[in-house]
Structure formats: C-alpha cells, structure tokens
Structure 1
Amino acid sequence: MISTRPLLIALLMSSVIWISCESEDAADVNQQRIETNYTLSYQAGDNKTTASASFLFGSTFLKINSPGSITFDGDRLKETEILGIVDYQKSYSAKVAGGTFVYTNNDGEVYENTLSLPADIDLPASLTELSIAEGAKIAWEGAPLKSGETITFHLSGDGGDFYASISLVNATFIEIDSADIQATLLGQCGMSISRSFTGSLAEATEEGGVAHAQVTSETYAVNVVE
C-alpha cells in the first residue's frame, strides 16, 4: 500500500514522536527501563554515513553518564542536545555498510547490536519530468522490497514537500497518483528516493528499543508540469 502523508522519520529512530522539554541522567533511573534506539543512515548525495543512538525513560530523553557509554565500532558517539532532545552521533565521510553499537549501562551490563545498511537504491536517469495531470509510475534502480523495508520517494520545491511510500514485499516500483501532487510544486524541484528498514534489537533492556537503517539516493532535478 502507498502512503502519501508526510514522512516523519526522525532518526531519533522511533515510530513515536516524542515531546520533551527536559532531559535526565541515565544514572538516575532504573537501568532496565531504559529504551535503546539505534540508527545507521547513508546519504549518497554527500557520501556520508551517520551512526546515532538515543535513550529514553518513558518520554524523557536520557544523558549517558559514567560509567555508562555508547560506541559504534569502537568509536565513542558525541552527545548533542536541543530543547531536551538528546542523541549521540558520529558521522563518517564514506559509506559504512554496517557496524556494531555497544551500550554499557550504569550497572555494567553490556548490549551489542549490529546494524547493516539496506541494499542501494536510485532513481532512473530518464526521470526528468513529472506530470500533475498524469501522475507517475517510478521503477527504482535496485532490488525489490524485502519484508520490513519501506521505499520513500521525496519531492521538494519552493512550494513545499511531497512524500510517497510503499512497503509491499517484492514491489519494484512506486506509483504516484496525479491528484496527490500539489500544484504548488509546479516547476523545478529536487527529488530523491530512500530504502529503510526498521526492526527489533538483538540485545536490549527489558524496555526494548528499535533498530533503523536507511540509504538515500542523491537529489536530482525534476520538472513538475501540469
């Protein structure tokens, strides 16, 4: 099935949108009630891979403090905080196909989770124009969809953003209904396509968590016409 509602994937890596005004130290909460979330994402446009992790106690983001730690393939992740939303990141100027997150909590318990990027995906070079009147059937370049994967097409212009996604196993194309593309997007736009996978963790606290991996193509120019 195809969804055209705006995609709210934050690589705060959760299917839930969290609203928080104040973070808390991980050392001050029950270690088994900490939700652990990991993301590995690759942007082909700037050839950059980002590994990120976030930790939650209920709806509150947690700061990892000594003796707790979080690493990706041995590299310590750097803490960032904006308005109480805390995550830990490291970026690499290359494609990193996979790696292992190692989280050590304040009780000395260690959790290891290995994430791999999904298969590459790209848009066909022949796609240079989209018609609002006719819509489009876009056959991507890359493997068919696997279980747990989602393909998302993104169109962006001065008039806003448009998203369409599909999660049908073995699908090889995404169909865009002409009625779904806003007239405000007429003219030159940028377009990209991504393949993502979301699944459970191999090792986690009693609270669990989410593993998310995504690859995104370069952004290409496209002319949107009536």
Structure 2
Amino acid sequence: LMWSANIQAAAEQIELSANTIRVTMAIAIAGALLFFLGVPLLAAGFLSRGHGNLFFGVVDGAVRIALLLLYLYAISFKAEIARLFAYHGAEHKTINAYEKGLPLDVPNVRTQSTLHPRCGTGFLLAVMVVSAFVFGLVGRPALPLLLLSRIVLIPVIAMLAYEFIRFAGRNRNNPIVKVLILPFLLTQKLTTREPDDRQLEVALAAFEAARLEEKEAAA
C-alpha cells in the first residue's frame, strides 16, 4: 500500500519523504494497538467486574473480534477502499483459477470465487481468535504485566494463526476443515468485491509478473 501511495503521489507530483512515511506508519501502528488491544482491555475490565479470569478473557477476545469486523465494514463504504477490495477479489479469482488448472484469461477467471482460504483477512480473524485463547490463558495479572503480555505474545499468536491458515489451505477439501474455515471465508465478504474485467486484467498481469520473477529467481 505504501508503494502504491508513492506511485500515486508521484503521478500527482506530490513528494512523500521518508520521514512522512515513518510518521504515518508509527501513527498507524500506535492507533491499531490502542484500538485493538487497549479498547478490548478496557471493555473487558469494565464488563467482567465480579467475574473470573475466564470471563475476562472471553470478553476481551469477543470485543477485539467485533472491533475488527466493524472496522472492516466501516471502511468498505469509502470509494477508494471499495475499489481496493475489488482488486482483492480479482486477486482471489486469479489464484483460484490457477489452482484449478484453468487457462488464465478473463473469461475463466471471472467465473471464480472471490473467496480463498489463504487470505490476509482470514489471517487477521485467525489472529483475533487465537489471541482470545492465548490471552485467556494469561489471565488477568497486574496491569503492567497484562499490557506487556499483549505485546510480547503477538509473534506467538501470529505464528499459530499463520500455521492454521497454511493447514486450512492444504486441506481445504476436508469436510471438517471446510466447517472450521467457514467463518474465515465469510469474513472475506467484507474485504472483497466483484471486480470488473479491467481489474481482472490487472490481477492477471500482476500474477504473471510474479510467476516470471519467481522463475528468474530460481534459475
């Protein structure tokens, strides 16, 4: 996205300095931590008064998942984001066609689903679900340790979520896996849109360029 922003800025003769990008990223990360870690903690602390650690963990995880879904739903109304989501759908359609062994052209790709088990949206939801279990095990220690655990355990949670997504992708035809990944697929309804043919052409060109680069790197 930052690369795309730089390309667009250059086209509009706007210069994005390295410091501007750093500050933007820092604000975005701080905002995400506050929104997806701080707010759930505050809500769980308020709603779980008089209840045990398990209830605290459940509320914390539920609020975090709800915030993620609400955030994705809210930003989808912005025209630029809706257009981005259409390209996301085009990407999934292209990958689905490729994995089915279909000729990679617009007519074939157009018929494919915009949903795919190996998706960043599914990964985000997996992170939220896994974090609910992991943070639930942590319980409710003193506030400094509670905040520290939310940051220190992020790599562990991301690793577990990533492995789940990989497993789901490899076993997508398994009936049990199909049931398990259904919520993650449905979440993609928020972040994908049906693309037009021009967007499909872009997705196909990007995919072929990536394949070519991969072949050249392996040569």
TM-score, normalisation: structure 1: 0.24
Q: From the CA coordinates, give the structure whose radius of gyration is larger.
A: 2
* Greater share of residues in helix: 2
* Greater share of residues in strand: 1
